Structure 1
Amino acid sequence: MSNNAPSQKYRASCHCQLITYTVTLSPPLDDLDSWVVECNCSICARNGYLNVYVQNECIEFEGVGLESDMVEKYRFGKQRVQHYFCSRCGSSLMAESIEPGFYEGVKALNVRMFHDVDVQLLQRRQVDGRNL
């Protein structure tokens, strides 16, 4: 993320607000150069993920982090991506690669967890995650 580029902080949480975090995006979601990923893999399609890919250092957890026993982890298929869910309300929070060299240092955040974001207004890009 460039220091001169426009950026915006977003508050995000699971439905029950047990897991809360702040995300800094550059460009902001309302920028014409910004878009979210709509993936066709089975888990993204079933859970309605709309993802943005963010460097780990742009995410700040407040209290409960991903290593807490309040966060459920799930892998499937080729076992290269780990998905995170709130253990209390079941919200689909994010995913990250656990395979070295495959999207290392990045998390795919579900923007449906972001507060005060109208997902209907976001530009979308289709990704063939089914064949990754």
Structure 2
Amino acid sequence: MGSSDSPALAPSFDPSNAQTYHAICQCGAVRYAVTLSPPLAQQKVVECNCSICSRNGYLFVYPSREQFFLQSGEEVLRSYSFGIKRMLHKFCGTCGSAVFADPRMKEFGEKEFDLLAVNVRMFKDVKLKDLNIVPYDGWNKREFVDSEHLQTFA
């Protein structure tokens, strides 16, 4: 973000059009909640084809850091980073579930907003067939995210 290739920002948070989702890793050690605005049914859920996303089966939504609430498991979370070492992929050190990723936006000079990439596959009671899953060609792009896919449908 911050380049001319990604001009749009994430949608503004609207508490009157928001929903909280609870998530858990496979073993139950890592638990968190995330509030999405708009709700998940109106979000574009990103399926990236880069090496780590495809291997881990990530399906990402991008809430602001302020809307992510880690409830338990901070002590078992482990990080993995590769390439330019920007993205910290967080996974449960007990069961290995790929929970979320932290692009460390503020650390990399992107002051406009601060997002996390949260794996929808960890959400409780979500049916993947009901989601608006959109492909993203992360294999051929270097930017953290092409914010075009963050925009919701009107």
Give the alignment's TM-score, normalised by structure 1. Answer: 0.88
CA distance in 1, matches of 2:39, 2:44: 9
CA distance in 2, matches of 1:61, 1:11: 10
Shift of 1:3: 3.2
Percent of paired sites with the same residue: 43
Equivalent in 51, 57, 64 of residue 42 of structure 1 = 51
Say whether 1:15 aligns with 2:23: no
CA distance in 2, matches of 1:102, 1:14: 29
User: Per-residue CA shift, 1:52-86, capped at 9, x if unaligned?
Assistant: 00101101111323xx2x11100011211110010
Q: Secondary structure at the match of 2:108?
A: coil
The higher relative CO (CA closer than 8 Å, separation ≥ 6) is in 2
Which runs of structure 1 show a deviation greater than 6 angstroms over 4 or more consecutive aligned residues?
Answer: none
Q: Secondary structure at the match of 2:62?
A: strand
Equivalent in 18, 23, 41 of residue 30 of structure 1 = 41
Structure 1 residues not aligned, in runs of 5+: none
Match of 2:109 in 1: 101
Equivalent in 115, 124, 134 of residue 125 of structure 1 = 134
Count, aligned residues = 126
Say whether 1:87 aligns with 2:96: no
Say whether 1:78 aligns with 2:84: yes
Shift of 1:96: 1.2
- The structure where strand makes up a greater share of residues is 1
Shift of 1:116: 0.2
Structure 2 residues not aligned, in runs of 5+: 1-12, 143-154
